[in-house]
Amino acid sequence: MKIAEIKSVKAFSKQLKNNIIDAAYNAGSSSAHIGGALSLVDIFATLYDQFLNLNKYNYKNKNRDRLILSKGHGCLVYYSALVIKRIITKKELLNFEKSGSFLLGHPVMNRDKGIEFSNGSLGMGLSLGIGTALALKKDKNNSKVFVILGDGECNEGSIWEAAMLAPKLGLDNLTVIIDKNGFQQTGETKKILDTSNLSYKWKSFNWNVEEINGHNLNEIHKFLKKNKKKPTVCIAKTIKGHGISFSENNNEWHHSILSKKYYELAKKETYEKK
């Protein structure tokens, strides 16, 4: 990456973190799921800042790229990106989970607000992505589809049914990113239902597979920049609650409410980080 690109992505990442923290504190809700949102910040920053053909002018245009957040509980990073892209407002974000808000604890489809699909029950997003990618192919539309999965979500059988289908359909316009932060709601993924070698599994279904550090901007950028000749999955090793000392690798922050004390600490750490 060029120096200017790195600076731009880092600035986007910092904005994402601040938006997530502000929205979670304002909501006072355990459904903010900041741990699973923060693990995706660097991936979302690189995608939205450097690659996605999506902005405030074209987000309803059929020629836009699509992003589907299958691990819907990480929605605050998604909503925060839409704020930075000026598709929704910061005021709307701060109304997260309030009465009358369209921003709920899992995404609810609202194309007028840039939310592509509803996602709550895990395992749905890849099938939605396949249908979307296939439709784009049939329409001779060159737009791309990105699906974000969780590693715990890969316990769902529907993921593997969909994984078998995508290569058969030749969906080279489909990219899957697995947020491998090692945790799910009730504990460590490897202790609950170990998916073992994810790379081997996806390769066996005839996908292009790469493993990266999900917080290394150069690695993320290099992966996204590559031309893909068949469906591709990136297994991104991440840290749950990344960037905030008290939430990193602490699964209590899958659900915990952000108190004033922790909010102020999180804001301080975010602003101090270069």
Q: Any idea what DSSP says for residue 115?
A: B
* Run of H or E including 179: strand 174-180
Read off the pLDDT of each residue in 48-64 and give the average, rounded to a whole number: 97
The mean pLDDT value for 72-82 works out to: 97
Q: What is the pLDDT of residues 190-233, one digit of tens each?
A: 999 998 899 999 999 999 999 999 999 999 999 999 988 899 99
Nearest CA-CA partner of 224 in 46, 38, 97, 33: 46
pLDDT tens sequence across 31-51: 789 999 999 999 999 999 999
Q: What would the pLDDT profile of 124-156 be if each residue is shown by its tens digit?
A: 999 999 999 999 999 999 999 999 999 999 999
Contact 37, 255 (CB under 8 A): no
| CATH code: domain of residue 165 | 3.40.50.970
Are 161 and 131 in contact by the 8 Å Cβ rule? The answer is no
User: Rounded to a whole number, what is the distance in angstroms from the first to the last CA of the chain?
Assistant: 17
- Distance separating alpha carbons of residues 245 and 30, to the nearest angstrom: 19
Q: Which residue has the higher pLDDT, 212 or 252?
A: 212
Residue-range definition of the domain harbouring residue 148: 3-272
Tally the domains of the chain: 1
Q: Tokens 């808000």 identify what position?
A: 101
The pLDDT-based confidence of 121 (bands split at 50, 70, 90) is confident
pLDDT band for position 187 (50/70/90)? confident
Pairing of strands 183-184, 187-188: antiparallel
Q: Would you state the pLDDT for residue 120? A: 79
The residue-averaged pLDDT of 253-263 equals 92
- For 32, residues 6+ apart whose C-beta sits below 8 A from its C-beta are 20, 23, 24, 76, 96, 97, 105, 257, 258
Angle (deg, nearest 10), helices 217-225 and 3-27: 110
The DSSP H or E segment spanning 261 is: helix 260-272
Q: What's the whole-number mean pLDDT along residues 226-255?
A: 93
* Residue 274 scores a pLDDT above 60: no
Q: Quick one: CA dihedral 162, 167, 173, 176, positive or negative?
A: positive
**Which residue in this structure is represented by tokens 């939605």?**
128
pTM equals 0.96
Percentage of the chain lying above the pLDDT 90 cut:
88
